[in-house]
Amino acid sequence: MKMIVETTGKFMLVDPYSRDMLAHNRPCVVTGTEFIVSRIALGQVNLLATDLVAEATDKEFQAYIAASKPKGKNPSREKIVALAVASFTATFKTAGEPAEAEAEVDETVDESDEAVG
């Protein structure tokens, strides 16, 4: 299982199992190994997205980050990352699991809708 994570400080990590590198200054796509899960539990790594297909790569994700930076504007880093993560997960989420954006859809029924018909 692949996931998008980022370190919580100015330090880099290298997963000894998968050899994935987590840069100190950007989110990365990595394989969800015991090492990564333990770093999440220790608070050294933030989990941004999970359940990505095995074909998802960090190189592709970095292209999504670059495409999420609008020209001529200076949005916050958080907005750029959020847009890149949402776009990437919409493309690379595993089948059967709703993408994060889809999971937030409110499925409540308005009573006025039931009276129609």
Question: pLDDT tens across 40-84, in order?
Answer: 999 999 999 999 999 999 999 999 999 998 888 888 999 999 999
Model pLDDT, residue 85? 96
pLDDT(102) > 80: no
Which is more confident, 100 or 36? Answer: 36
Model pLDDT, residue 38? 98
CA dihedral sign, ordered 74, 93, 53, 24: positive
Alpha helices (H) in the chain, listed in sequence order: 34-41, 58-67, 77-92, 100-103, 111-114
β-bridge partners, 49: 4
Model pLDDT, residue 94? 85
Question: pTM to 2 decimals?
Answer: 0.78
**Both structure tokens of 35:** 């090492």
